[in-house]
Amino acid sequence: MQQKLEQEFEAKLEVHDEEVPHKKIKTQHDMIKFKKSKAFLIFDNFVRELNESIKSKPLPSDANIKLSPVLEMVLTFFDDLEAYMEQFPPVEFRDGQTSRFGNLSYRDWSDKMSSEADRMMDSLLDKALEHSSPASDESGVYTMYNKKEEWHRKELSAYWKDSFGNKTRIDYGTGHEATFCAWMCCLARLNIVTLRDSFALVSVIFPRYIDFMRKVLLFYKLEPAGSHGVWGLDDHQFLTYIWGSSQLINNPEEIKPTSIHDRGLVERYSDRYLYLAGIDFINRVKKGPFGEHSPLLNDISGVPRWTKINSGLIKMYYDEVLFKFVVIQHFLFGKLLPFEVAEEKYANTSPPTTSLPNIDYSNIASVATTRMPTVTHNAPIQTTRPTPNTNPSQTQFTTVRPPINKP
């Protein structure tokens, strides 16, 4: 029955609006194209830039960070999504089926979330336009977004709706987490968020998404999507450990990789570090010795330095998520994240570089560069990031620089 529903759902996706992002990866040959695509270059840039923006920084308290009006609005969206959960509480039985795993009420919640997505994204674009650079009140300038188009809403809605799990399979996994990251990346591509927002994206918006999804997982008992069982890093999420390990580099509390086995310490600092929040969630939902239910995280705790863990997790992310066919076959491609091959100037001509987000825009002219390890897994194209723009007026992520395909 479930297989039939999946087939019908996939068939509906074949008939799509050309302005709505859709799946492109259907064969292993398409995987080769993906590794050479603009979408991979842009997404990889974005992940690394956020990784650098949160390096050695704990999560901020509400009083210690000022969000743009656009990001404040995003937080209200999650409040709305939580309210929808109250409208569709879990059911014990429906049509003779038990709901021990994958509660069927999740489909009702998913339908509600999807039906509101266009309205949410439309209001987000209006808010971005209201606070864009042409605004008369200079104190109200938060974005560089200056022209609203219909396809902007369609693209943002598509990634937003695909970030919260699959309603047919009633599951959630690292592919959905990657899609939410792609949604944030699309905000950067449209200049709705700028470099000044990079830290807020990874330290406020992303944690809010992760916390919300953990509530959904427990509330509707979503099954892991594409899980490796005990031999996976985590049943549902991966980026939270990459960016969380970056936070812990040179942390002032001197939290070491082995500290994850100290449950008291993990609970005490779980609201400050994404990595520890992930460990704390595992401790609360899984029973038995940590080394048995989470052997990979247990092994990683034996690595002496967080810098080594961070670089290793980035490489692992390629193998287990971005270059894993069963995961990335569901990824969406559109004008903001195009499937076409990257242009020659982004080809492998030298070791990759990326501009680091400069949170203090009083000194934007001195944006630094850093070398990143070469990606060799499955021999993908090794792209060169665009050279940082040292123009003091430039406040864009490097991810926005590859041209957007206009309709």
pLDDT at 376 over 70: no
Q: How confident is the model at residue 97 (pLDDT cuts 50, 70, 90)?
A: low
Q: How confident is the model at residue 278 (pLDDT cuts 50, 70, 90)?
A: very high
pLDDT tens-digit map of 149-188: 999 999 999 999 999 999 999 999 999 999 999 999 999 9
pLDDT at 334 over 80: yes
**Assign residue 221 a region: left if phi > 0, alpha if psi is -120 to 50, beta otherwise?**
left
Give the list of residues 6+ apart from residue 147 with CB closer than 8 angstroms, or none. none
Candidates 119, 108, 112; CA nearest to 153 is 119
Position 234 scores a pLDDT of: 73
Position 10 scores a pLDDT of: 52
**Average pLDDT, integer, range 37-44:** 96
Burial 337-346 (b: 16+ CB within 10 A, else e): bbbebbeeeb
253 in Cβ contact with 190 (< 8 Å): no
Q: Give the span between the Cα atoms of 201 and 395, in whole angstroms.
A: 15
pLDDT at 382 over 50: no
Q: How confident is the model at residue 100 (pLDDT cuts 50, 70, 90)?
A: low
Q: Give the span between the Cα atoms of 122 and 151, in whole angstroms.
A: 11
Distances in Å between the Cα of 82 and the Cα atoms of 88, 180, 216 are 10, 17, 9
Least confident segment among 15-19, 220-224, 379-383: 379-383
Q: Are strands 223-224 and 171-172 parallel, antiparallel or unpaired?
A: parallel
Q: Give the span between the Cα atoms of 67 and 252, in whole angstroms.
A: 25
Domain ranges in the chain are 18-400
> Tokens 């570090």, residue?
273
pLDDT tens-digit map of 296-320: 999 999 999 999 999 999 999 999 9
Please spell the DSSP secondary structure of 174-237, one letter per residue.
Answer: HHHHHHHHHHHHHHHHTTSS-GGGHHHIIIIIHHHHHHHHHHHHHHHTPEESS--GGGSS-SS-
Position 405 scores a pLDDT of: 52
pLDDT at 69 over 80: yes
Mean pLDDT of the chain: 81
Which residue(s) pair with 94 in the sheet? Answer: 97
Query: Given CA atoms 195, 201, 202, 204 in this order, what sign does their dihedral have?
Result: positive
Q: Which residue has the higher pLDDT, 135 or 261?
A: 261
pLDDT at 64 over 90: no
**Average pLDDT, integer, range 10-16:** 49
pLDDT tens-digit map of 19-30: 799 999 999 999
pLDDT at 74 over 80: yes
The one-letter code for the residue type at 158 is A
Give the list of residues 6+ apart from residue 280 with CB closer than 8 angstroms, or none. 266, 267, 270
Q: How confident is the model at residue 141 (pLDDT cuts 50, 70, 90)?
A: low
Q: How many CB atoms lie within 10 A of CB 151?
A: 19
Share of the chain above pLDDT 70, in %: 74
Query: Given CA atoms 196, 199, 202, 207 in this order, what sign does their dihedral have?
Result: negative
**Assign residue 297 a region: left if phi > 0, alpha if psi is -120 to 50, beta otherwise?**
alpha
Q: How many CB atoms lie within 10 A of CB 93?
A: 9
Candidates 91, 386, 329; CA nearest to 220 is 91
Distances in Å between the Cα of 357 and the Cα atoms of 193, 194, 302, 364 are 12, 9, 31, 9
Position 91 scores a pLDDT of: 87
Q: How many CB atoms lie within 10 A of CB 130?
A: 14
Q: Rounded to the nearest 10 degrees, how much is the dihedral formed by the CA atoms of 198, 201, 207, 209?
A: -150
Which residue(s) pair with 333 in the sheet? Answer: 22
pLDDT tens-digit map of 186-209: 999 999 999 899 999 999 999 999
Position 371 scores a pLDDT of: 26
Q: How confident is the model at residue 143 (pLDDT cuts 50, 70, 90)?
A: confident
